[in-house]
Structure 1
Amino acid sequence: MNDPSLYRFLDEMTPWDDRLQVLEVIGIIDEAPEVKTFTFRSDNQTWFRYQPGQFMTLELPVGEEPLLRTYTLSSSPSRPFSIAVTVKAQAGSIGTRWMFENLKIGSHIRAFGPAGSFSHHNYPAAKYLFLSAGSGITPMMSMLRWLNDCAPWTDVTFVNCARRPEEIIFRKELELLGSAMPGLTLGFLIEERSSRESWFGHIGRIDAVRMPLLSPDFREREVFCCGPEPFMNAVRDMLETVGFNMEQYHQESFAAPAVEAVTAPFTNAETDQSSQAMSVQFTLSDVQASCLPGQTVLQAARAGGVRISAACEFGLCGTCKVKKLSGEVEMDHNGGILDEEVTEGFILACCSKLLTPLEIEA
């Protein structure tokens, strides 16, 4: 029997807060071979506020230490009572395979976010080209679902590349949207034919010859691209070669720069360095650590034995968000924290460096 308390108006609810609530699995759907969509709601009846195309980080209890994995949201904020990720289990994947084998309806899991700036909301345009390969279709699907709900007349060319026809994720829904959205043009490109179904569409890989066939006016469009790094590199190189205005090109990538080594706790022999160090008090852990100039709060925490969850470690995912109780930092992030959170005193530990001694709620 449905719980009557679930039927509440949006203005009677508050937005989901990743610091206070966890997610509950309410749906699991097979989308394609080795691809599933997991749909969640808040365990405290809150609603989800995010931009289409953003991502969140799931904390997966795989071993002794939780495994942090970042997944793009495939759902749309125009339907704010639930949130979904569509994930593909690659060969050798650990986190996604754990989700496939362990998450059931009613399971609870901790998550951080949403975060990221890969969204058409940040680049308004008259025409869009959403170009993806494999599971890189997920942010494009989030944006297209939002457009279908809120601006179905938008001029969008949606191109997805897959190895075989049966591996095209969301294919049936896309074909339905193609008949419902007057401005939507669909294009599929596969690498090889399949024995499971006939294929009469384009075959091959995206290049300067096939691009005009799939999107004749691609030079006039705002381009969003997501997929494996080699795919995105090929698309970017092809567009640059044909003289495309790269200010109209945007891609989603979770590739991180090299992580600096964490300096070990200081010894008495390190007097020159330690004389320049500043103290960091981690109040919840009751630990006082030292931080050298140039070190981040996250590095100081690790050196002091304090655990702060972190995934990307370059200011994008927002997983390492902690509250600053006193002191000042220099924070150079990549969109993983909101302005209002900074106003409230939150920082990203991975990209915050001390300007004064600090107190952190961690």
Structure 2
Amino acid sequence: MNSMVFPKIDIDGMPKWDGDLAPLECIAIKDETHNVKSFTFRSKVDAWFEFLPGQHTTLFLNINDASVMRTYTIASSPTHHHAITITNKLLENGAVTNWMHKHLKVGDCIDALNIGGSFGIAFDQPRDKVLFMSGGSGITPMLSMSRYLIDLSIDLDIVFLHNAQTPRDLIAKDEIDFYEQHQSNFNRHYICDNADDDWPGERGLLSLTMLNNLVLDIIEREVYCCGPKAYMDNVKSILNEIGFDMAHYHQESFDIESSTAQQNMAEPDKFIAHEEGESIEVVEYNITLQETGKTIKCGSNTNILVAIQKEGIVTPFACSMGMCGTCRTKMIEGKVDMDAQGGLLKSHEAEGYILTCCSHPESDLVLEL
């Protein structure tokens, strides 16, 4: 008989987990819907997880002998120190998510980046009423925040509003229904794009009338929103129309469902250049892309990702803020000024890797691209 191994309860004697400490071991897989799964991980060595509800981590996987990275919001509560849960949805072109659904098994180990991200509960400006709004798999940060608030019995009036394509696409429905039944301060509303005649909830595109009917006191609430870009744009349009104070509106910084991190290709809709001070001298450097043999120009006031995209070269990126690690590449020669926001392991930085989205050249460069 195999002996059962329990994690240490006293976290004071354990290190805090980070990406350089140990891989993550998959310990549970749960079917949430017909195309959504939750994967629960623990550290391969005894360690505890510290993060804020709404933050994310980036997974490193080996698929068809290629190393790929994908960023996922942590859906579990920070009050559960010994494990984290990632919930993701099958996508038509989602190579990594689809691989996880088909091939990742309990007991498998994967590497991951440190936990990071700025989306989450506004602890510095709390209101006693909150509204969580989500579309599709954008529900994951809302689950983390709801679980956190309920675990700690924090006295907040919570309205949980979730949009899905059909009733069978409602993620964590049983859990959310349980909260409404047993928490006096928790109310939930589901909106489905398409539903049968016997569906008791709202249906169709979220509208001003619909939102006003479901959340009568929306003006008094702190609003958190996550979902496809079109969903979040619609929410902001409605809130602006009713005169909502947008200082109390928060949304995830990149599109969860159609994220370029899922597609592994760049979509350079707009370029974000380094802020140029009036007295800063701009120096132009040559950047050689080793694999393609191309050499491009990049000013010292422009991040490298922008320079690459301006040349029409497709390269992976997602958050454009140094958090997710998708744009990681190895620097063979040269020097950069990099402002990574948790998206790069210390060990990888020591090996010469940089994040192109937040690196500015300080010399000519040779990159492994």
Looking at structure 2, the residues matched to 5 and 180 of structure 1 have their Cα atoms a distance apart, in angstroms, of 30
- Per-residue deviation, 1:117: 0.8
Looking at structure 1, the residues matched to 158 and 19 of structure 2 have their Cα atoms a distance apart, in angstroms, of 33
For residues 102-113 of structure 1, the aligned pairs below 5 Å read 102-113=103-114
Looking at structure 2, the residues matched to 22 and 149 of structure 1 have their Cα atoms a distance apart, in angstroms, of 27
Looking at structure 2, the residues matched to 201 and 350 of structure 1 have their Cα atoms a distance apart, in angstroms, of 43
- Per-residue deviation, 1:121: 4.2
How many residues in Structure 1 have an aligned counterpart in Structure 2? 325
What is the CA deviation profile of residues 293-338 of structure 1, one whole-angstrom value per residue up to 9, with x for unaligned ones? 42657899xxxxxxxx97544323256789x9xx9964456x5469
The verdict on how the C-alpha distance between 1:321 and 1:5 changes in structure 2, with shifts beyond 3 A counting, is farther
Tell me what 1:9 maps to. Answer: 10
Kindly, what percent of the aligned residue pairs are identical?
37
What is the CA deviation profile of residues 33-61 of structure 1, one whole-angstrom value per residue up to 9, with x for unaligned ones? 20000000011121111110111111221
Tell me what 1:215 maps to. Answer: 215
What is the CA deviation profile of residues 109-133 of structure 1, one whole-angstrom value per residue up to 9, with x for unaligned ones? 1111311111014453221100011
Looking at structure 2, the residues matched to 28 and 250 of structure 1 have their Cα atoms a distance apart, in angstroms, of 30
Give 1:258's match in structure 2, choosing from 230, 255, 268. 268
Looking at structure 1, the residues matched to 114 and 196 of structure 2 have their Cα atoms a distance apart, in angstroms, of 38
Query: What code does the residue aligned with 1:240 have?
Result: N
What is the CA deviation profile of residues 133-170 of structure 1, one whole-angstrom value per residue up to 9, with x for unaligned ones? 11111100000000011134311111001122121101
The verdict on how the C-alpha distance between 1:313 and 1:244 changes in structure 2, with shifts beyond 3 A counting, is closer
SS in 1 for 2:66: coil
CA contact (8 A) 1:73 1:86 kept: yes
- Per-residue deviation, 1:90: 1.8
SS in 2 for 1:6: coil
Tell me what 2:184 maps to. Answer: 182
More off after superposition, 249-258 vs 222-231: 249-258
Task: Structure 2: state its 5+ residue gaps.
Answer: 261-266, 272-282, 288-295, 308-315
Looking at structure 2, the residues matched to 299 and 19 of structure 1 have their Cα atoms a distance apart, in angstroms, of 29
Tell me what 2:79 maps to. Answer: 78
For residues 282-361 of structure 1, the aligned pairs below 5 Å read 293-294=299-300, 296=303, 312-318=319-325, 330-331=337-338, 335-336=341-342, 350-354=357-361
Looking at structure 1, the residues matched to 248 and 354 of structure 2 have their Cα atoms a distance apart, in angstroms, of 31
What is the CA deviation profile of residues 204-244 of structure 1, one whole-angstrom value per residue up to 9, with x for unaligned ones? 22110000121110111111111111111111111112211
Query: What code does the residue aligned with 1:141 have?
Result: L
Query: What code does the residue aligned with 2:219 have?
Result: R
SS in 1 for 2:208: coil
Looking at structure 2, the residues matched to 64 and 4 of structure 1 have their Cα atoms a distance apart, in angstroms, of 33
The verdict on how the C-alpha distance between 1:277 and 1:162 changes in structure 2, with shifts beyond 3 A counting, is closer
The verdict on how the C-alpha distance between 1:217 and 1:87 changes in structure 2, with shifts beyond 3 A counting, is same
Q: TM-score, normalised by structure 2?
A: 0.75
The verdict on how the C-alpha distance between 1:230 and 1:292 changes in structure 2, with shifts beyond 3 A counting, is closer
Looking at structure 2, the residues matched to 148 and 2 of structure 1 have their Cα atoms a distance apart, in angstroms, of 34
The alignment yields a C-alpha RMSD, in angstroms, of 3.8
CA contact (8 A) 1:259 1:313 kept: no
- Per-residue deviation, 1:180: 2.8
- Per-residue deviation, 1:259: 8.9
The verdict on how the C-alpha distance between 1:194 and 1:259 changes in structure 2, with shifts beyond 3 A counting, is closer
Task: Structure 1: state its 5+ residue gaps.
Answer: 262-274, 280-289, 301-308
Looking at structure 1, the residues matched to 233 and 110 of structure 2 have their Cα atoms a distance apart, in angstroms, of 34
What is the CA deviation profile of residues 5-44 of structure 1, one whole-angstrom value per residue up to 9, with x for unaligned ones? 6234111111112023111100000001200000000111
CA contact (8 A) 2:75 2:86 kept: yes
- Per-residue deviation, 1:62: 1.8
Looking at structure 1, the residues matched to 317 and 238 of structure 2 have their Cα atoms a distance apart, in angstroms, of 35
Tell me what 1:140 maps to. Answer: 142
Query: What code does the residue aligned with 1:146 have?
Result: Y
Tell me what 1:233 maps to. Answer: 233
